[in-house]
Amino acid sequence: MSRYLVMTKFVPGHGPAEGSPEHAAEMRAWDRFNREIASSGQLVQSFGLELATHSVPADRPERENGEVVFAQYVIEANSLRGVEQWAQRMPVVEYGRAEVRRVLFDNTL
């Protein structure tokens, strides 16, 4: 089994407006997705991120195309294809993207 990091990305202003009925529907879709992946036994860890970013060094651009990462998932799977199938089910793919990368090492203490 390998571990994969899935980074969910979007450009602010794209996707449902916060507080709208569409946003509420998306939050329900995320809740369903999170319950399903957790119950699959493949989810190692997930977390949401603050949209504001801080770069080091500070004089470099934070992002080139306006994209921000808003959540990350660590998924354990037998293949990249299995993780891609989970990523394709994430609601963000309607207006953003889910980037998948294999984890090369884990220094978890």
* Domains (range + CATH), the chain: 2-102 (3.30.70.1060)
pLDDT digits (tens, 9 = 90+) for 53-97: 666 766 655 556 778 888 999 999 999 999 999 999 999 999 999
- Whether the ω angle into residue 57 lies within 30 degrees of 0, i.e. cis, is yes
For residues 25 and 102, the answer to whether their CB atoms sit within 8 Å is no
Total-model pTM: 0.86
Using CA atoms, how far apart are residues 4 and 6, in angstroms rounded to an integer? 6
Q: Where are the beta strands (DSSP E) in 1-109?
A: 2-10, 43-48, 68-77, 97-102
Residue 100, beta-bridge partner list = 6
